Structure 1
Amino acid sequence: MSAKHPPLSLAPVLPMDVSASVAAAFDGARLTQARRLAGWSKKELATKIDVTPAAVGQYEAGAIRPRPEQVRRLAEVLGMPTAFFTAGRPRAALDTAAVHFRSLRSAPARERERSLSFTELLWELTHAVETYIRLPRVDLPGWDGGETIPDLPTEPQQAARALRSRWDLGDGPIPHLVRLLESRGIVVAVLPYSSPDSRKLDGFSTARLPRPVIVLNDGRDDVYRHRFSCAHELGHLLLHGEAHPGDIQHERQADAFAAEFLTPTAKLASSLPTRVDFTLLGRLQQIWGVSLDSLLVRCRELGLHSEAVSGRAWRRLKSLRAEGLLPATPVRAFPGEVPVLLQRALEMAQRKGITTGRLARELHWPEGMIRALTDAQDSRPALRLARDPD
């Protein structure tokens, strides 16, 4: 494995002894999941365990099972307990066609596969937590436990206004977007790893799991881009029942939804300047929680700026950034934009005596992986989570 793709687990895990019965229960799909999560090809994994790439392919396909000593070696190099590779546990299964990826060209295939494995494991953790803690019910128009059937207007701006009405948001700013979606039962997460390739994935989402999932990438660590990406993925979940990764029309529709959802035309239009005024735009950025880029696009869309004026504005914006006068605003400076749903649920589970160690044993994960998936370090505002009756 190259240095830029460390295993997701935070520390080496010494595998348990593997009996012949454990080796006999080997699940090739789990090996595929762990290998993709590490960001490795079959050839790279084969080199590390001294077998051929064809042998790794056969292990994953279930054509042959690895011997106990090979299972121990797989667990060691992939940073997983040996029991992780056994069958019999609930497992999500995603492929590229089930996920709204922005582009199939911007990030390498292995990075998309890595993201799929991350999302599968995120659902498994959610499923395990829900055994003990009741999470907010999914309140997403058209949601039907594993898919979304469009239940709002198909025109993006109308859909955004309809959702605001259904969620009783009015037409003002949304101060805590991520927290809002979590309170509606949507699982939101941030990729816990970063590499030049993973940073090409701004965000992605899927409705093919028992809960809708949005995964964001804070590699650029800009809260305004983070919020827009989140609203963009919400648009996909609502407008596009079938994922068509990289579809230009779908991407434009999701952008249009996000812009109207975050900055409703009826409320924003009268406050936008008819000439380029970055001081005023900066104040609007703080009020609405959107980027200067988004506000300039809105000015152009609403006919407030001509094409020539818009072009000069973009050049000026680029110049200001090049001079370091518009530094990015960190996501963690805005607690309401940091996902905490699973972290809060884990805290509630711990008060009932369900430790992360116990969950890790049930999932057959290294305990550090649970911490990696739920690390938010935030305490406000509180989510309304309901305890299951004992």
Structure 2
Amino acid sequence: MSVKQPPLSLAPVLPLDVSSSVAAAFDGARLTQARRLAGWTKKELAAKIDVTPAAVGQYEAGAIRPRPEQVRRLADALGMPSAFFTVGRPRAALDTAAVHFRSLRSAPARERERSLSFTELLWELAHALESYVRLPEVDLPGWDGGETIPDLPTDPQQAARALRARWGLGDGPIPHLVRLLESRGIVVTVLPYLNPDSRKLDGFSTTRLPRPVVVLNDERDDVYRHRFSCAHELGHLLLHGEAHPGDIQHERQADSFAAEFLTPAARLASSLPTRVDFTVLGKLQHTWGVSLDSLLVRCRELGLHSEAVSGRAWRHLKALRTRGLLPFTSVQGFSGEVPVLLQRALEMARRKGLTTQHLAQQLHWPERMVCEFLAPQDSRPTLQLAEEQL
């Protein structure tokens, strides 16, 4: 990343509360975006601002504009500055058909909608930061600034090997997968919402924005699942120019791509045990950065384990986990798997005078939201030590 010259003035473009002006320049799409980000239906929002659900629908469709006092109520209810709802600044737009969701049944519709709004706003944050910092150029075969035209073999395993060759990765382990994608201009983030429904949403990705985006879920906080999900979404970006959410064939192809990209068969096969040996598999897990589950699948795929042997191995693995002998490994312990691209871009821009306050004013966001998007909260409790304990 390199620093660009900032605009001549870092003064806010608009004050944070301009309700009387917003009513005349109200953007219904921004209301939809904020409502979905909050995870609310039109009926739920209507109840909070004392209007009918039909009125909210008309605001969002642009059929009518809310009065200034209604704008203030909307802003208060949704936790946004009034200026957020104005037209005239770059806005991303995604729908379900533009995103590689793994399943349309695993998570409620409102969680999918919330994740879409989150991804739209994430791109807007990246776009704003690019006014100050030159982010890495997108290096993705077939990428054309908002879509991908498949430029690799259509066979997932061949595509994985071709991408390794293009990126100069050889056939060994990839130690820092998230950092690798970020260095190739792909925006990677972790969905910050920690309610039970959002945890049902697997990782997803899209090429329908001016930068490809991969969004991961921190389910189980397991670094090996995290890495495989990241490689799976990379497979979608490369192989599937058109998103078909929940398509079983696409999901299998993305899994096949991820397995070969993370653990090339030509290099891995000679290291895999021909009988189930979790000591050997555990060492390979740490070497290659993949789960025991993935290694067992590879053993079966490569013909090293029969169906009967594979079945016994899965039962044994389940028993070990049930007894708590195989705890999950936290992502937080692997710095190369924690997204940092946008956070480091802000740190670089700060040296030229940019602050989170000004960035929030430029985006018309609350400042807390900028901080949350740039540095998702660590859900672990913080240990507090009194001075006399030190």
TM-score using structure 2 length: 0.92
Pick closer, same or farther for the CA change 1:82–1:204 going to 2, 3 Å: same
Secondary structure class of the residue paired with 1:220? helix
CA–CA distance in 1 between the matches of 2:306 and 2:146?
Answer: 44
Aligned to 1:106: 106
Letter in 2 for 1:275: R
CA–CA distance in 2 between the matches of 1:293 and 1:201?
Answer: 20
CA–CA distance in 1 between the matches of 2:118 and 2:38?
Answer: 10
Query: Shift in Å at residue 18 of structure 1?
Result: 3.5
CA–CA distance in 2 between the matches of 1:326 and 1:154?
Answer: 37
Query: Shift in Å at residue 125 of structure 1?
Result: 0.3
Pick closer, same or farther for the CA change 1:88–1:294 going to 2, 3 Å: same
Secondary structure class of the residue paired with 1:55? helix
Partners of 1:133 and 1:345 within 8 A in 2? yes
CA–CA distance in 2 between the matches of 1:122 and 1:20?
Answer: 28
Aligned to 1:343: 343
Query: Shift in Å at residue 20 of structure 1?
Result: 3.0
Aligned to 2:181: 181
Identity percentage over the alignment?
A: 86
CA–CA distance in 2 between the matches of 1:37 and 1:377?
Answer: 17
Query: Shift in Å at residue 193 of structure 1?
Result: 1.3
Letter in 2 for 1:219: E
Matched, 1:253 2:253: yes
Aligned to 2:163: 163
Secondary structure class of the residue paired with 1:215? strand
| Unaligned ranges ≥5, structure 2 | 1-14, 379-390
How do residues 45-194 of structure 1 correspond to structure 2 at under 5 angstroms?
A: 45-194=45-194
Aligned to 1:358: 358
Deviation per CA, 1:355-377, whole angstroms, max 9, x where unpaired?
11111000000111111111169
CA–CA distance in 2 between the matches of 1:285 and 1:79?
Answer: 44
Partners of 1:338 and 1:376 within 8 A in 2? no
Partners of 1:178 and 1:339 within 8 A in 2? yes
CA–CA distance in 2 between the matches of 1:56 and 1:278?
Answer: 57
Partners of 1:178 and 1:188 within 8 A in 2? yes
CA–CA distance in 2 between the matches of 1:251 and 1:319?
Answer: 28
Query: CA-atom RMSD, angstroms?
Result: 1.2
How do residues 361-380 of structure 1 correspond to structure 2 at under 5 angstroms?
A: 361-375=361-375
Deviation per CA, 1:170-212, whole angstroms, max 9, x where unpaired?
0000000000000000000001111111111220000000000
CA–CA distance in 2 between the matches of 1:194 and 1:19?
Answer: 32
Query: Shift in Å at residue 29 of structure 1?
Result: 0.3
Secondary structure class of the residue paired with 1:310? helix
Secondary structure class of the residue paired with 2:214? strand
Aligned to 2:382: none
CA–CA distance in 2 between the matches of 1:130 and 1:214?
Answer: 18
Secondary structure class of the residue paired with 2:371? helix
After TM superposition, what 4+ stretches of structure 1 lie above 4 angstroms from structure 2? none
| Unaligned ranges ≥5, structure 1 | 1-14, 379-390
Partners of 2:36 and 2:113 within 8 A in 1? yes
CA–CA distance in 2 between the matches of 1:291 and 1:196?
Answer: 24
Aligned to 1:322: 322
Query: Shift in Å at residue 22 of structure 1?
Result: 1.8
Deviation per CA, 1:44-98, whole angstroms, max 9, x where unpaired?
1111111111111001001111111111011111110010011111000000000
Partners of 2:17 and 2:83 within 8 A in 1? no
CA–CA distance in 2 between the matches of 1:150 and 1:34?
Answer: 34
- Matched positions, count: 364
Partners of 2:221 and 2:331 within 8 A in 1? yes
TM-score using structure 1 length: 0.92
Letter in 1 for 2:170: G
Letter in 2 for 1:261: F
Pick closer, same or farther for the CA change 1:17–1:139 going to 2, 3 Å: closer
How do residues 169-318 of structure 1 correspond to structure 2 at under 5 angstroms?
A: 169-318=169-318
Secondary structure class of the residue paired with 1:270? helix
CA–CA distance in 1 between the matches of 2:192 and 2:96?
Answer: 20
Partners of 1:343 and 1:376 within 8 A in 2? no
Query: Shift in Å at residue 19 of structure 1?
Result: 4.4
Secondary structure class of the residue paired with 1:37? helix
Pick closer, same or farther for the CA change 1:17–1:339 going to 2, 3 Å: closer
Letter in 1 for 2:197: D
CA–CA distance in 2 between the matches of 1:267 and 1:334?
Answer: 24
CA–CA distance in 1 between the matches of 2:306 and 2:31?
Answer: 55
